[in-house]
Amino acid sequence: MSVSSELITQVMSLREQLRYHNHRYYVLDAPEVSDAQYDELFQQLKKIEQNYPELQTLDSPTQRVGGEAISAFQTIVHTVPMLSLGNAFSSDELKDFERKLKDRLETTDISELEYCAELKLDGLAISLIYENGLFKQGATRGDGATGEDISHNLKTIRNLPLQLNTLNPPTLLEVRGEVLMPKAGFDKFNAEAQLKGERLFANPRNAAAGSVRQLDPNIAAKRPLAFYAYSVTQIEGAILPNTQYDVLQWLKSFGFTISDDIKTGKGLAFVEGFYADIQQRRSLLPYDIDGVVIKVNELAKQQALGMVSREPRWAVAYKFPAQVASTVLESVDFQVGRTGALTPVARVKPVFVGGVTISNITLHNMDEIRRLGLHVGDTVEVCRAGDVIPKITQVLARGESSSLIELPACCPVCQSPIVQDEKGVIVRCSGDVYCDAQVQRRLAHFVSRKAMNADGLGERWLEQLLEKGLIKHSADLYYLTAEKILAANIEGMGEKLADNIIAAITKTKHTTLQRFIYALGIRGVGEGTSLALAQYFGTLEAIKSADEETLKQVPDIGEVSAKWIVAYFSQEIHLKQLEQFLAAGITWPIIDIEQAQHQPLVGQSWVLTGTLSSMGRDVAKAKLQQLGAKVSGSVSKKTTIVVAGAEAGSKLADAQKHGVTVWDETQLHDLFAQHNV
C-alpha cells in the first residue's frame, strides 16, 4: 500500500495531539480531554501504524505501551558514577557549605557567587542514555556504581522523550533526573486500587519505586509516572551551555520536563529566600519534595570544585525539617523478641505524617516511656523524616482520662512471669522455649540473611510450619520433608513451594562457623562476637567447652557476654539441639586459628557510615571482618576508623567528637587491594 501525504499528515497530527494531552495529564495535571477521547485518538494512530508499518517510529506514543515482560533485570555499570548529595539541615550547615566553597574557590567575595536553586523532588534518581537523539537505555541509581536496566518501564513514561526534539542531536547524551508519581496521579491511583481491593501504596515515592521495578512494563504503563531532568553527565557530538540553569533550559528545548521552580541568584540570602518560599508553597506543589537543591551555577566552577566521598562539592540538598503531627496515644502493647525482651509499641490514632499514615510506633523500652512521661490517652507529637522510623517526640497534652502505662504482670503471649533488669529498663519473658513468640522470633533469626540465609523461607511460611506443629526449634527444619509439609494442608502451599522450602533449607547446610554461631541467637552474641568466637576458638567444640575466664580473653567479649555464652552451652536442651544440627549434616570450612589471629586488623573496631558507591556496606563489612576487624554500628572513643561514604550522618559527627580517624571510600579500596580481599 502506498502512503499518501494526507495519511502522513494525519499520523503526525495524531502524535502531536497525544503528546500534548500526555503533557497536560501527566505533567500539568490539567487534562483537556476525557480518558475515552484520549483512547480514541490513540487507537486511530495505532490502527494506521499497524496497517502501514513503514509509518511506525521509535518515538511514537504507541511505543510507550507495555511490551513483553522481562525475566530479570540486567545490571548496568554507570560510566560516570551516580553521586549523591550532601545535606544541610540548618542555616549553619548551609553556611558551612558556603565556607568550604570559599576556601576551595579562593574567592574573596563569596557573596558574589551565583547559585542555581532547584527542588529536591522526592522520587527515584535514574540515568537515561540517548544515542543520536534516540532513547537507548535507562537505569536505576543502584549503589551508584551499578544500577538496573529499567528501560522497558521508562519507555512507558509519557513525558520522557523517546526521541530528542532537535535536528542535530548529540551522538551521546546521558541525562539524569528523578522519576516520580505526581500527587494527583497517586491519589487517583490509590483510590482506584482501593475500589478494586488491591494493595495501596504508602506514598508517591514508594509508588514510583515500585512501578519502575516491575518486570512487566504493562504494569508501569498504567501508573501515572513522570520524569524530571536535572543534569547532563555525558555528552558527545555537541557542546553544553556554560551554566546549570542554561543546561536545564537546553534540556527543556529537547523535550525534557524540568521543574517550574528553578531560579538563579547570588549569595546565601538568595538561597534562604528560595528555601523559605518553597517551604511555604510545598503543600501546593504537584509533587512531593523534601527540600531544595543548591548548585554552583557555573559548570567550570563545578568542575574545579570536584567531589569528595562520592558527593559533588558544588551542590547541597538543603532539607526541610522532619514533618510533625499530633495524634492520640490509644494504647501500648508489648511485643516479645527472640531473647524474650518485651518492647513497648505505641498504638496511636492513625495520623498522616512525612508521607505515610502511622498507627504503630516503637517506644524501645520503659526508659523511653518514663523519659517522655507518656500516659495512654495523651495527645502526642509524632515526627518522621523521609524514610526514617517514626518517633514520639513529646507529650503535647494530658487527656482527661489518661492512664499510666504499666508493665504487664506476665508475658502477653505465654503468660510466663516477666523478669526485669536492675534499672527496670529491659523487661523479659521468662518462658524461653515455652513462649511461642520467642520461638518464632528465634526461628526467623536463624534463617535470616546474615545468619543461615535460607532464602525463600519467609516469616509467613515459618509461622505456618510452627502453627501446624511441624517445627518447634530451628534444628527441626533439617528434618522436614516436602511430603510432611504437603500433608499439613497449609493454605497456599503446593508441591513446588514445598520443594523450594526444602531446597532453601538444604542449601544452608554448607555455612560458616561464624554464621552458625550467630544463627543460634545466644544473648549478647551478635555478628561481630560470633566472628570473634569462630576465629579465636576455630571449632564449635572449643567454644562449647570454654569457661568464662577463657571467653573473656576473646576480643570483644566482656564479663556479661561470657556468662551468657556459658549459660547457653550448659543447657541440656541446647546441647541436644546442637547434636541434631550436626547429625543433619551442617558443616563449615575448618578455620586456621593461627592465621585468623594474625590478621592485620585484629583487635580493631571499625564503623561504616553513609553510602559506599562501589560496594554494598555488607560487602565492605565482610571484607573488613575477613581482615580481622570488628565492625560496629556505633562510634566510641575505642573506634579505630570510621569509613564515611556519601550522605554520612551523625556517625561522622560522632567520629569528629571522639577524635576518631575518618577514611573515605578510596582509602578503604586501597586497604582491600593491599590485602587482596
Query: Interface residues with ligand I6G (CB under 6 A)?
Result: 83-85, 118, 120, 125, 230-231, 293, 312, 315
* Minimal distance, residue 82 CB to ligand I6G, in Å: 7
* Least distance (Å) between residue 317 CB and ligand I6G: 7
Give the shortest CB-38-to-ligand I6G separation in angstroms. 31
Between 229 and 358, name the residue whose CB sits nearer to ligand I6G.
Answer: 229
DSSP SS3 for 269: helix
CA angle, residues 170, 172, 177, in degrees to nearest 5:
100
576 carries an active-site annotation: no
- For the record, the C-alpha cell of 199 comes out as 494493595
In this complex, which beta carbon is closest to ligand I6G, that of residue 120 or of residue 155? 120
- Identity of the residue numbered 585: G
- For the chain, how many residues are written? 677
CB closer to ligand I6G out of 87 and 190: 87
245, amino acid identity: Y
Q: Shortest Cβ distance from residue 176 to ligand I6G (Å)?
A: 7
3-state class (DSSP) for residue 480: coil
CB 154 within 8 A of CB 212: yes
CB of 183 to ligand I6G, least distance (A): 18
302 vs 604, beta carbon nearer ligand I6G: 302
Q: In the complex, what is the shortest distance from the CB of residue 212 to ligand I6G, in angstroms, rounded to a whole number?
A: 15
Cβ neighbours around 603 below 10 Å, total: 13
- β-bridge mates for residue 126, sequence order: 140, 177
For every residue of 91-137, DSSP letters joined together read HHHHHHHHHHHHHHHT-S-GGG-EEEEEEEESSEEEEEEEETTEEEE
CB atoms within 10 A of CB 74: 12
What is the spatial distance between Cα 616 and Cα 143, in angstroms, rounded to a whole number? Answer: 7
* H or E element at residue 442: helix 436-447
Strand partners, 536: none
Q: Min. distance of Cβ 312 from ligand I6G in angstroms?
A: 5
CA distance 90 to 82: 25
The neighbour count for residue 274, using CB atoms within 10 Å, is 22
Query: In whole angstroms, what separates CA 475 from the centre of its chain?
Result: 32
User: Is there a contact between 39 and 47 (Cβ–Cβ < 8 Å)?
Assistant: no
Q: Which of 100, 102, 120, 301 is catalytic?
A: 120
In terms of CB distance, is 83 or 128 closer to ligand I6G? 83
**Whose Cβ is closer to ligand I6G: residue 118's or residue 654's?**
118
Residue 175 or 522 with smaller CB distance to ligand I6G:
175
Q: Mind telling me the catalytic residues?
A: 120
